[in-house]
């Protein structure tokens, strides 16, 4: 499957719908960002539909040292978009398995969202070879596509 398999009306569906989620991640996370590394924060309406995709491409030592700080500005969106939620995509090179840094990004996003009372709908990892959704309860991959 790939983003080319997305139905024409995919923006009308919650992006975490299992029928489209991996393909949406494939659409959002460019090959260049998977090779260089990036974090995508997808802001969603309360319905789960995509409101605004955001990408942070220049991940320096400060970003890696304080991953939570990267997500904190997004929690302020609840003031303007009541009930919004986040989806996070970790785009990176390397193994097609979950690594410690994937778990750390997942944990940081979950902690920041929890503290702000904002739902974290999903976390996915996209490498040049594979895309998978991380399991919310254990920070492990739940499916590889």
Categorize the per-residue pLDDT at 139 as very low, low, confident or very high, splitting at 50, 70 and 90.
Answer: very low
Q: What's the pLDDT score for residue 144?
A: 47
Q: Is the dihedral of CA 2, 30, 127, 48 positive or negative?
A: negative
Q: Is the pLDDT of residue 73 over 50?
A: yes
Write the Ramachandran bin of 110: left for phi over 0, alpha for psi from -120 to 50, otherwise beta.
Answer: alpha
Tokens 């789960």 found at: 48
Beta bridge partners of 87: 42, 122
Q: What's the pLDDT score for residue 115?
A: 93
For 59-115, give the secondary structure using H, E and C. Answer: CCHHHHHCHHHHHHHHHHHHHCCCCCEEEEEEECCCCCCCCHHHHHHHHHHHHHHHH
> Taking residues 59-88, what's their average pLDDT?
82
- Name every residue whose Cβ is closer than 8 Å to that of residue 85 and which is 6 or more positions away in sequence: 43, 44, 46, 48, 113, 118, 119, 120, 121
CATH class assigned to 14-135: alpha beta
Q: In 24-69, at which residue ranges do the beta strands (DSSP E only) sit?
A: 38-44, 50-56
> Taking residues 88-102, what's their average pLDDT?
93
> Taking residues 120-143, what's their average pLDDT?
78
**What average pLDDT does the chain have?**
87
Q: Is the dihedral of CA 125, 27, 29, 68 positive or negative?
A: negative
pTM: predicted TM-score of the whole model, two decimal places: 0.88
Domain-wise residue ranges, the chain: 14-135
Give residue-wise pLDDT tens across range 44-64.
998 999 999 999 998 767 666
Residue 39, SS3? strand
């Amino acid at each position: 499957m790939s983003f080319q398999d997305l139905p024409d009306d995919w923006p009308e569906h919650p992006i975490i719908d299992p029928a489209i989620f991996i393909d949406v991640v494939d659409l959002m996370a460019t090959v260049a960002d998977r090779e260089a590394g990036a974090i995508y924060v997808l802001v969603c309406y309360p319905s789960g539909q995509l409101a605004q995709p955001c990408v942070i491409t220049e991940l320096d030592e400060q970003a890696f040292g304080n991953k939570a700080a990267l997500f904190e500005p997004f929690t302020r969106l609840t003031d303007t978009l009541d009930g919004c939620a986040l989806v996070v995509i970790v785009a990176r090179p390397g193994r097609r398995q979950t690594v410690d840094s994937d778990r750390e990004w997942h944990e940081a996003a979950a902690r920041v969202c929890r503290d702000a009372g904002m739902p974290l709908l999903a976390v996915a990892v996209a490498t040049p070879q594979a895309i998978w959704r991380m399991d919310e309860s254990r920070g492990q991959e739940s499916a590889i596509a």
